[in-house]
A = this chain, B = another copy of it.
Amino acid sequence: MFARNAWYIACTRAEISEKPLARTLLNDPVVLFQTEAGTPCALEDRCCHRGAPLSLGYATPAGIRCGYHGMEFGPDGKCTDIPGQTIIPAKAKVKSYPLVADGDYVWIWMGDPEKADASQVVSYPPDDPVKWPRANDMLHLQASYVMVLENLMDLSHLSYLHKSSIGSSEEDSANASMDVTRTDRGMRFLRVMRNADAPANWRKRYPIGDKVDRWSDFEFVAPCSIVQFSGGVKAGEYDQGKRDGYHLVRTLHAVTPETDKSCFYFFNKADGYAQFEDPNKVRTWASTTDVFKEDAFMLEQQQLRLNGYDTSQLMDINTDVARVRMIRALNDFIRRDQGIDAHPSSAGVAAQ
């Protein structure tokens, strides 16, 4: 179940061009392209004439032309040319979706165009390539977008799923403090592991010592985004208010449903420590994708186990506190989107 009146990432800025891109979003076939004049467009990817995908056509100065019998459509979805006839009936149109290009992304509004409010786009991480050099990638998962959000809301999985990559020790993880709060647009958790073991790759990169304070500040912005601010300082420095100087990361996680059981997981990671380093240094974020592939594999297998399964048989544990609150906020958002009064709902409903 999706909230349609919301912004989702349709594609990266790099992906949209005069070469049409076909992508199914929230079960709708969508073609993403720019006109030759440079206007980014998102239209229903099905010609109103015979149903051919417009993505097999080509961009024109002011729209896109179907590659089958040549009907042309403008950015608003209205037909602008029908070969062989001069009158264009009012019903000659396809659905058009509002877009907002922001930072590295093109966001799409899948609901009522009248309700689209560009100010609601999640603008993150900071668009500052000097102070916050960043990189992004995307994983196409055969799993519900809800599972990706849930995964990010329970960091206890780092000690198990990412044991050999970014994981903290099981003991440090179990001792983490956890504060969950409601926000205007969703919820937020702050998780701090004080006096924890410094990860090996931190010690290599930063003069941080063996013992560190690690914090993870994750804000869920309904229905699809998680804004992450996390890092590490020397043990004791966190409570003194220090944040800069060592490991310091701002990441946008945004998950767009493709179908009920598949999604596009976009992530964009800005490295705050890199500002202290030589700007000519070659930087790679490939390891981030590698870590998220560990999640992707687990989530796809989890999806297979839950297909046709009554998820009310599953049980919540202590570490689920943020996950449960996130699901509640997401369900509230979906209910409001569907015109149903929001009320506290049990965790897991959206995931079913």
Tell me the complex Cα distance, A50–B56, Å: 41
A69/B160 in contact, CB under 8 A:
yes
A305/B46 in contact, CB under 8 A:
yes
A85/B157 in contact, CB under 8 A:
no
Please give, as numbers and ranges, the residues of chain B lying within 8 Å of A83 by CB-CB distance.
Answer: 156, 159-160, 170, 173-174, 319
B150/A305 in contact, CB under 8 A:
no
**A67 within 8 A of partner (CB):** yes
Give min CB distance, A296 to chain B, whole Å.
Answer: 13
Tell me the complex Cα distance, A173–B319, Å: 67
Give min CB distance, A22 to chain B, whole Å.
Answer: 9
Knowing A83-B170, A174-B84, A319-B83, the reply to whether A51 touches B302 (Cβ < 8 A) is yes
Please give, as numbers and ranges, the residues of chain B lying within 8 Å of A174 by CB-CB distance.
Answer: 83-84
- Segment at the interface with B among A113-121, A200-208, A306-314: A306-314
Tell me which of A45, A65, A318 has the highest count of chain B C-beta atoms within 10 A of its own C-beta: A318
Interface size (A, Cβ < 8 Å)?
50
**Could you say which of B160, B298, B315 contacts A48, with CB atoms under 8 Å apart?**
B315
Tell me the complex Cα distance, A301–B53, Å: 7
Tell me which of A45, A53, A301 has the highest count of chain B C-beta atoms within 10 A of its own C-beta: A301
A3-43: CB near B (< 8 Å → 1, else 0) gives 00000000000000000000000000100000000000000
Please give, as numbers and ranges, the residues of chain B lying within 8 Å of A53 by CB-CB distance.
Answer: 301-302, 304-305
Please give, as numbers and ranges, the residues of chain B lying within 8 Å of A317 by CB-CB distance.
Answer: 49, 69, 71, 82, 84-85, 92
Q: Is the interface of A mostly helix, strand, loop or mixed?
A: loop
Please give, as numbers and ranges, the residues of chain B lying within 8 Å of A302 by CB-CB distance.
Answer: 50-53, 68
Please give, as numbers and ranges, the residues of chain B lying within 8 Å of A66 by CB-CB distance.
Answer: 160
Tell me the complex Cα distance, A306–B306, Å: 29
B314/A156 in contact, CB under 8 A:
no
Q: For residues 85 through 103 of chain A, which have their beta carbon under 8 Å from a beta carbon of chain B?
A: 85, 89, 91-92
B67/A161 in contact, CB under 8 A:
yes
Please give, as numbers and ranges, the residues of chain B lying within 8 Å of A51 by CB-CB distance.
Answer: 302, 305-306, 309, 311, 314
**A70 within 8 A of partner (CB):** yes
**A154 within 8 A of partner (CB):** yes
Knowing A53-B302, A315-B92, the reply to whether A309 touches B46 (Cβ < 8 A) is yes
Contacts A/B (CB < 8 Å), 22 sampled: A48-B313, A50-B314, A51-B302, A51-B309, A51-B311, A52-B302, A52-B305, A53-B304, A68-B302, A69-B154, A69-B156, A69-B157, A69-B160, A70-B170, A71-B317, A83-B170, A83-B173, A84-B173, A84-B174, A84-B318, A85-B317, A91-B315
